[in-house]
Amino acid sequence: MTVAEIRQLLEKYKHQPLSPDELAQLQQAVASGAFEEEIKADILHTLHAQSAPEVEWPEAEKAALLQQVLQTSPLQPVRGPYARKRWTYAAAAVLAAGIITSVAFLMRRPATKAPMAAAVKSNPLAPGSNKAMLILADNSTITLDSNNTGALAVQGNTQISNTNGALTYKGNGDNKQPLYNTVATPRGGQYQLTLADGSKIWLNAASSIRFPAAFTGNERLVEITGEVYFEVAQQADKPFRVKVTTPGMEEMSITVLGTSFNVMAYADEQAVRTTLVDGAVKVARGTQQSLLKPGYQASIEPDGGTFTTSTADVEQALAWKEGKFRFRNTNIRTIMRQLARWYDIEVAYDGNVSDIDLTGVISRREDADALLKALETTQRIKFTVDGRTITAKPVTPH
C-alpha cells in the first residue's frame, strides 16, 4: 500500500463507512506501523480542527470506540453523550489504546491542568512551501515556484530547467570560466536542485548556495549559508568542497569525495553542525579539523569557540528534509527558532522558558496553529498569536 492509498482510506473513513476489505487494509496499516507518521499527522490535524473539549472521555466510552476501530464490519456511529464525528471517535480511540503513541508532545514533569487552547487565536499561519530565488551570473533573478517551470535559462553550455519544485543544471562543463549562480530560499521556503555534476542539494528555509553552472578546474567548490543537505556525486579526481559562511563565525570548510551530509549554519543558532549520513568528510576551521565517520557530527561554536565531534541524532538532524519537525528533549527556544524560519513568524517570550525541553514529532505540512496547540498539550507552555507574532509563556503549575 502506498502513502497516497493510506491517505485516501483515512479521508474516506472520516466521512463514510469503509467496506470490510478497506477496513481490513486500514487496520493492517495501523498495526504494521508502516504509515505511523501519516496516520499520526492526520489524526492530529483532525483533532485540532475539531477543537474537541471531550478528549478526556470515560474509560467505558474509550473501550467502545476502540472496539469500533477494530471491528471487522463497516463502522457505525457510536451513541452517547460524547457523540461527534466518527473520525474524532476513532482518533481518540486509537490514541487511548496506544496503537499510535506520542501524537501529542510529552512532558518531562507531572501533568497539571492543560491551558485553554483558545489562547491561540484563529490564525492558521500556513506552512512553508517550495519557493526560492535564482540569481544568475549577470545578477538577473528568476523566481522559482510552481508557476515558473520548464527551461529557465542558459549559462555558458549549461541548460537550467525547473520542474516540480526542483532545479536542474545540465551541460558538458567546458565553459572557459566558471559562471556562478545562487539559489536562495526565504523564510517559509525550501527548494531542491541538481548541480551539473549530478550532486543533489536540498535547501531549508532562509538558506542559500552559490555554485558554478558547470564545474571547471581541479575541485568542485560551493558556498552555503543556513541549512543544506548534500548527496554528492562521486568524482575521485575532483573533490567536492563546501565553504560555510555564517555571520559572527570564522569561515569553515567541508571536503568530501562522495557522500551524504547535512550542514546547519544559521546565525541565530549556538553552533554550526555538520552531520554525516554516509561516506566521509573532513571538517576544518583554521588549524582545527576533524574527519567524520557516518553517524557522527562536528559542532563548531562561534567566535573561536569549541570544536567538538560526537555521535549524531541523524533522525533529528534530517527531519526537516523528510518533512517533519522532530524534537528530543529540545528547548522551546530552539523549537521556536525552527518554527520562525518555516512559518515566517516572529517569536516573543513572556517569562522564563529556559527549563522547558520537549520531545515529539509533527509534520511540517501542519498549519502553525495546529502545531502550537500540540505544543500546548504538554501543559508546559501556552501561546498567544497577534498577526505573525507568537508569544510563548510558561505554564505555572497549580
Q: Residues 225-268: pLDDT tens digits?
A: 999 999 999 888 889 999 998 877 778 899 997 799 999 999 99
Average pLDDT over residues 302-307: 74
Kindly report, residue by residue over 163-220, the tens digit of the pLDDT: 888 999 998 656 677 899 999 999 999 999 999 999 999 999 999 999 999 998 889 9
Shortest CA distance to 104 belongs to which of 397, 398, 380? 380
Q: What is the mean pLDDT of the chain?
A: 78
Residue labelled with grid coordinates 487552547: 117
pTM (2 d.p.)? 0.69
DSSP H/E element including 135: strand 132-135
**Residue 38 C-beta-side C-alpha neighbours within 13 Å:** 18
Q: Which residues have C-beta within 8 Å of that of residue 255, sequence separation ≥ 6?
A: 239, 240, 241, 242, 281, 282, 284
Residue 50 pLDDT > 60 = no
Q: What is the pLDDT of residues 317-361, one digit of tens each?
A: 999 999 999 999 999 999 999 999 999 999 999 999 999 999 989
Reply yes or no on whether the pLDDT at 19 is more than 60: yes
Contact in structure between 256 and 290 (CB atoms under 8 Å): no
Report pLDDT for 307. Answer: 86
Which cell is 74 given? Answer: 463497516
From the list 198, 189, 202, 266, the residue with the least C-alpha distance to 229 is 202
Report the SS3 class of residue 94.
helix
pLDDT at 149 over 80: yes
pLDDT score of 392 more than 50: yes
The larger pLDDT score, comparing residue 204 to residue 49, is at: 204
pLDDT score for 40:
52
pLDDT, mean of residues 87-108: 37
Question: 21: burial class by Cβ within 10 Å (0-12, 13-18, 19+)?
Answer: exposed
Domains in the chain (CATH in brackets) are: 3-100 (no CATH), 104-125+323-398 (3.55.50.30), 129-317 (2.60.120.1440)
Do the Cβ atoms of 200 and 179 come closer than 8 Å?
Answer: no
Cβ-in-10-Å burial (0-12, 13-18, 19+) of 183 comes to buried
pLDDT over 80 at 299, yes or no: yes
Separation between Cα atoms, residue 224 and residue 315, nearest integer Å: 22
pLDDT, position 91: 43
Is the pLDDT confidence value at 64 over 50?
A: no
Range in 53-67, 136-150, 153-167, 321-335 the model is least confident about: 53-67
User: What pLDDT is recorded for position 4?
Assistant: 59
Contacts 24+ apart (CB under 8 A), 314-318: 314/275, 314/277, 317/262, 317/264, 317/273, 317/275, 318/229, 318/262, 318/275, 318/277
Question: Which grid coordinates belong to 219?
Answer: 575541485
Q: Are 27 and 70 in contact (CB under 8 A)?
A: yes
Which of 36-45, 110-119, 355-364 is predicted with the least confidence, judged by mean pLDDT?
110-119
pLDDT at site 39: 60
The per-residue pLDDT for 148 is 82
Residue 120 has pLDDT above 50, yes or no: no
C-alpha radius of gyration, the chain, whole number: 24
C-alpha cell at 76: 457505525
pLDDT score for 233: 93
Cα(347)–Cα(334) distance, integer angstroms: 11
Q: HSE on the CB side for 392, CA within 13 Å?
A: 26
Q: Which residue has the higher pLDDT, 122 or 315?
A: 315
